[in-house]
Amino acid sequence: MTTKPAVVDCALYVGGVRQPADGPLDELYERARGRPDAFVWIGLHEPDPGDFRAVEKVFGLHPLAVEDALNPNPQRPKVERYEDVTFLVVRTARYLPHGKLTETSEVIDTGSVRLFLGPHFVVTVRHGESGELRAARLDLEAHPAHLAAGPWAVVHAVLDKIVDGYLAIAGAFDTDVAELEAAVFRRDSGISVERVYQLKRELMEFRTAAVPLQRPLLVLLDKQTFALPKEIRRYFRDVNDHQTRVVEQIVNHDDILNSILQARLAQVTVDQNNDMRKIASWAAIAALQTAIAGIYGMNFAYMPELHWRYGYPAVLAVMLGSGLLLHRVLRRNGWL
């Protein structure tokens, strides 16, 4: 059985240009420290402590941050400073295509990216299948002028890709919610409460991943906390604007799903009331026949028409007529 390598890519960049050089990580880092416009970017996918030991040693990472980086369990987005190293946790998400939304449909798959940022290095640690960063790296390498801004350009590219993924998911939710909203008011739709709740549950998972990123972004934009280059700060503001749109869409979707859920519950209640009225109507018709039969089954010596030759068919006629009359009255009043 073969396992995927933990190191996805590792490169030295000088002036925004990837250098055609391979070698041990410590040598690449020494070369980067020798130039003000150079840095190393190493990307890892679900490393174990053994895979990460060399990275921790070369870059002098704090043990607490390393522990958080290696923990595969979901963590709340955050940004922390360890002297001259910044540690950032971001939740990733991807939309799972599905033919038809059911009571068990999984719409959202989440993961996370943890980033270490230093003066001459960036370490990205990805957990889960979502948030693949190769496209972000290739896009940055195609724009060396932006990559020349250094490690913060990498952080911006990673956050921009993740937040753009949030926007795509929010757009996909637009379609799901609109289809559910249109279907729930059709009498023959067959939409169940469980189906509505499942989509709401998936939205809650997306909300847990995406919404908490707002606070770390605001911290990064705080000039007193992080002295970002002016141009990079503009890029981060753009990411923050996109993140605000995501949050607004999530809140809107949640409100609509709450309304749909309440509407479907009201429909279920109305249907149950209609069923109960029908049951009560037929019970009333049956009770009327039972009352008439019960009276003539008392065996009293003196009862009207008891000894009449046509008493039996007359009572049957009365029972049938009264039943038909009561049925007509209940039907006219909408009970049947």
Provide mean pLDDT across the span 46-61. 90
Same domain? For 328 and 237 the reply is no
Same domain? For 189 and 289 the reply is no
CATH of residue 297's domain is: 1.20.58.340
1 assigned to some structural domain: no
Same domain? For 75 and 224 the reply is yes
Same domain? For 258 and 308 the reply is no
Measured between alpha carbons, how far is 22 from 323 in angstroms, rounded to an integer? 94
153 assigned to some structural domain: yes
Provide mean pLDDT across the span 61-74. 92
Query: How confident is the model over 306-318, as pLDDT tens digits?
Result: 677 777 777 778 7
Which structural domain range is residue 277 located in?
269-332
Same domain? For 178 and 309 the reply is no
Reported as a pLDDT band with limits 50, 70 and 90, residue 202 is confident
Same domain? For 219 and 323 the reply is no
- In three-state form (DSSP H/G/I as H, E/B as E, the rest C), the secondary structure along the chain is CCCCCCEEEEEEEECCEECCCCCCHHHHHHHHHCCCCEEEEEEEECCCHHHHHHHHHHHCCCHHHHHHHHCCCCCCCEEEEECCEEEEEEEEEEECCCCCCCCCCCCEEEEEEEEEEECCEEEEEEECCCCCCHHHHHHHHCCHHHHCCCHHHHHHHHHHHHHHHHHHHHHHHHHHHHHHHHHHCCCCCCCCHHHHHHHHHHHHHHHHHHHHHHHHHHHHHCCCCCCCCHHHHHHHHHHHHHHHHHHHHHHHHHHHHHHHHHHHHHHHHHHHHHHHHHHHHHHHHHHHHHHHHHHHCCCCCCCCCCCCCCHHHHHHHHHHHHHHHHHHHHHHCCCC
Q: Quote the tokens at residue 120.
A: 């001459």
35 assigned to some structural domain: yes
Same domain? For 290 and 324 the reply is yes
Cα Rg for the chain, rounded, in angstroms?
Answer: 35
Same domain? For 119 and 248 the reply is yes
The pTM score is: 0.77
232 assigned to some structural domain: yes
Same domain? For 253 and 187 the reply is yes
46 assigned to some structural domain: yes
86 assigned to some structural domain: yes
Give 39's strand partners.
13
Range with the poorest average pLDDT among 39-43, 268-272, 321-325: 268-272
Q: What's the number of domains the chain is made of?
A: 2
